[in-house]
Amino acid sequence: GGAPDYVLLFRKENDTRIAAWTTSPFPHPVSIPFSDLANTSGPLNANAPARQFQIISHTGQGLPWVTLQQDQLVISVKSSPQYLAF
């Protein structure tokens, strides 16, 4: 990512959510290091064995799943927030 990109982590008990978006007018990929997420307090539950996560749009629509690749979550950020649940 870069300066116009935002990734926020929210945690409540065992639920973890990420919100990601950009202020850039162009969608583009952003890598989120999974090790950074795993080092936060509490468990993160990637769907074993594939370790996949579904992206949810700002309207609540399910978007394609992303697969953890070399301990990185790579998502395409857009001007509207997208959410991932763990």
Can you read off the two tokens belonging to residue 49?
A: 């064995």
Per-residue confidence (pLDDT) for residue 41, from 0 to 100: 44
Give the SS3 label for residue 37: helix
Residues 22-65 have pLDDT tens digits of 999 999 999 988 775 655 444 444 444 457 888 999 999 999 88
pLDDT at 47: 45
Q: Which long-range contacts (CB under 8 A, 24 or more apart) does 64-72 make?
A: 68/34, 71/33, 71/34, 71/35, 72/31, 72/32, 72/33, 72/34
- Map residue 86 onto helix, strand or coil: coil
